[in-house]
Amino acid sequence: MSLVKYRVREVATDFGMQAKEVSEIVAKYFDKPKSNMQVLTEEQLNVLFDHITQHRQIASIEAVFATTAPKAEEKSAAEKPAAKREAKPAAQTNGKPEKPAKQPEPQRKRERRVVDTSAVTVNADRFDDRVDNLVSDRVQNYARGKQKINNKNKKQQKGKMSNKSRSEEQEKMRRLRLEVIKKTPLTVKIPDEITVGELAARMKKTAAEVIKCLMKNGVMAAINQTIDFETAEFVATELGCKVEKEVVVTIEEKLFDDHQDTPEELISRPPVVVVMGHVDHGKTSLLDYVRNAKVAAGEAGGITQHIGAYTVQINGQPITFLDTPGHAAFTEMRARGAMCTDIAILVVAADDGIMPQTVEAINHAKAAKIPIIVAVNKMDKPGANPDRVLTQLTEHELVPSEWGGETEVVRISAKTGMGIDELLETVIMTAELSELRANPNRNAKGTVIEARLDKSRGPIATLLVQNGTLKQSDIIIAGTAVGRVRVMTNDKGRTVKTAGPSVPVEITGLAEVPAPGDEFAAVADERMARQLVEQRKQKLKDAAAKAQTKVTLENLFATMQQGEMKELNLIVKADVQGSAEALKASLEKITNEEVRVRVIHSAVGAINESDVVLASTANAIIIGFNVRPNDQAQAAAKRDHVDMRMYRVIYDAINEITDAMKGMLAPKYREAVIGHAEVRQTYKVSAIGTIAGCYVKDGKITRDASVRVLRDNIVIHEGALGSLQRFKDAVKEVTAGFECGMSIDKYNDIKVDDVFECFVMEEIKQ
């Protein structure tokens, strides 16, 4: 059937429809045909015939297979070429052109019957079990016809007879195919999440049908809402579709080799050992003895400053040691050190016993699910008490093997070398029991041990290869850093070309410094790697922007509870220097265990735009004492979401911030400025006092509002409005752009250019 082109006009003719109707049906599910001569695809025809079958029911199946007789016009048109074809052979056979011309009639009828009979035979045989074979037979018959009939007669026959019979056969074949399609359910691919509208389109159903099915099963969802895979699968099954899970391939899946190593590909690898324990219990001294190098002597205060990685040969077998810092500030780095290692050596001083950081180290090793070997150090000291250490170990679920447990305990002295050989033999034995294996014949994967920025060489990273082999000039991606390995040096300082499993190397060539603990992987496509790095950076930016919310007194307690707030930054502005200093001193005394109050700026005068910029940058709250913000500051605070608090009593400011830190702040009313009026003229009336002739600059002035007098943005007075008049009439409010007369209750020190700030206390919805 794929050899036949079926056009819009032909479909319309065969079904007795308008071509426009056919186009409209196709347009419901696909792009609208551009013209009536457009050839329809197989998928379009399937949907079209499905629609026609549903909406244009036939009376009986016999009507479908009935072959109609040719029309009279087609008969006469077919007879003429037939007559010509028969006349020529007759003349040639007899050699007399006059006589054969009188006997074309029987021949014409016989030829016409032969055509009809063949057509009927083909039509009858089209519907048996050998459908596909008959299609190919028909194509072969057409090929044979080309050899027998000359070009002119073939064109005439094809134009007048073949098209009609072909159309009839196509229609009947389509109907049979539709019957098969109806019995075969539609397969729909559904991702983890999908909108209702998209699901309906994939199932070739209306959105209303899908929504109805969802509502029937208790799910209320609009056409643009997203539903999960389980819900979508249930709906699709209900509506008679077969469901397949759509797998979305991410850049990581394309970029990283997810090949699962087979046992044949794996070979044994050296163990990676991490040395952990409390500060000054002798971790670095132990490594010193093993490596015969004095590392601790060259470091500040005997504390290891960075994670180091070293490979040593023990009886011909290599072991990689990681030395993690013991200082409390490096807890995070120690956690990373434990996650990429195979065995942990827990160093405990025999005279000190188990200390808080020793417990942390035990927990890190347990979290990494790695075996722990306990080295009881400083056995040469007079106060050494190893039995106390063994007893303490049992309290942390580490039962020594000599007491019937599974934890190997070795008594050593890093100073004299006592027990070191036994410790190393225990490490090798534990490694053999663990059966550590890796596949060197693949792209390298591993962990960034440490990273720094060198002035001359650029970003430098120490990598521990955990699987595969890292080669010089490999493209690697580590966290948000990507680059090509330029120079690779081992722990002895020698340049190497390759590094296999469990080998630490220092590399240059990354575009930026990665974070210690980041996983790295060698990849093949540099362009895709840079694309992935940009995606990761954008995710980090989005997460940082989401976390960076401006602090206000309302969310202060919640921020403290989440452990995000360590310091509360404040900016203090006051009317006089004495007030500013007193307020600063009082606020800084509020500091408690969870948060430290810090006044980062204190000054005299109105709150200006630069104060708001500083508050936005430092994530601070502005405290105003007897001052107000100017117009630019108010606009900037609104734009940058900076919290500004105005007070007239120092204790109010202290109490409110204290309550906020305790989580007790629940303000129910807030001041709302409704308008400003500028004093243009003053009048003194003996019975009333001073009346100000004012021009309302913005908002409105209402009779029942409170008012404060501002002179150069410094608050001079705050009180109630005495009277509000327009000409001789008392009014309830005056809006912007109008003049009015105002007096302030119990206050007469009003001067020209003073500003009246009108405000009301509005209730905050809880």
**Mean pLDDT within 230-239:** 88
| pLDDT range class, residue 293, cuts 50, 70, 90 | very low
Bridging pattern class, strands 226-228 and 242-245: unpaired
> Cβ contacts of residue 84 below 8 Å, gap of 6+?
153
pLDDT recorded at residue 156? 55
Residue 687, helix vs strand vs coil: coil
Q: Tell me if 386 sits within 8 A of 421, measured CB to CB.
A: no
- Provide the token pair at 113: 């019957």
pLDDT digits (tens, 9 = 90+) for 365-385: 777 778 889 988 888 887 778
> Cβ contacts of residue 705 below 8 Å, gap of 6+?
674, 721, 758, 759, 760
Residue at 285: amino acid letter: S
Q: Tell me if 496 sits within 8 A of 490, measured CB to CB.
A: yes
Spell out where 686-754 has E strands: 689-702, 706-711, 714-726, 729-730, 733-735, 739-744
Q: What is the pTM of this model?
A: 0.45
Distances (CA, A) of 187 to 244, 245, 495, 596: 7, 10, 58, 62
Q: Which residues face 677 on adjacent strands?
A: 696, 756
User: Residue 14, Cα to own-chain centre: how many angstroms?
Assistant: 52
pLDDT recorded at residue 299? 43
The Cα–Cα gap between 434 and 268 comes to: 10
pLDDT recorded at residue 526? 82
**Mean pLDDT within 293-310:** 47
| pLDDT range class, residue 284, cuts 50, 70, 90 | confident
What is residue 632's DSSP assignment?
H
pLDDT recorded at residue 352? 79
pLDDT recorded at residue 179? 66
- Provide the token pair at 382: 């007079």
pLDDT recorded at residue 755? 93
The Cα–Cα gap between 297 and 504 comes to: 23
Tell which phi-psi region holds residue 175, choosing left (phi > 0), alpha (psi between -120 and 50) or beta: alpha
pLDDT recorded at residue 678? 94
The Cα–Cα gap between 129 and 253 comes to: 47
- Provide the token pair at 399: 């039962």
- Provide the token pair at 285: 């001294």
pLDDT digits (tens, 9 = 90+) for 25-48: 888 888 888 787 888 888 888 888
User: Residue 213, Cα to own-chain centre: how many angstroms?
Assistant: 30
User: Residue 725, Cα to own-chain centre: how many angstroms?
Assistant: 61
pLDDT recorded at residue 321? 85
The Cα–Cα gap between 302 and 286 comes to: 13
pLDDT digits (tens, 9 = 90+) for 193-229: 888 888 988 888 888 888 988 888 888 888 888 888 8
Inform me whether the pLDDT recorded for 742 exceeds 60.
Answer: yes
pLDDT digits (tens, 9 = 90+) for 592-610: 766 778 888 888 888 998 8
pLDDT recorded at residue 246? 79
What is residue 407's DSSP assignment?
B
As a whole-number percent, the residues of the chain with pLDDT over 70 amount to 74
The Cα–Cα gap between 22 and 334 comes to: 72
Bridging pattern class, strands 706-711 and 714-726: antiparallel
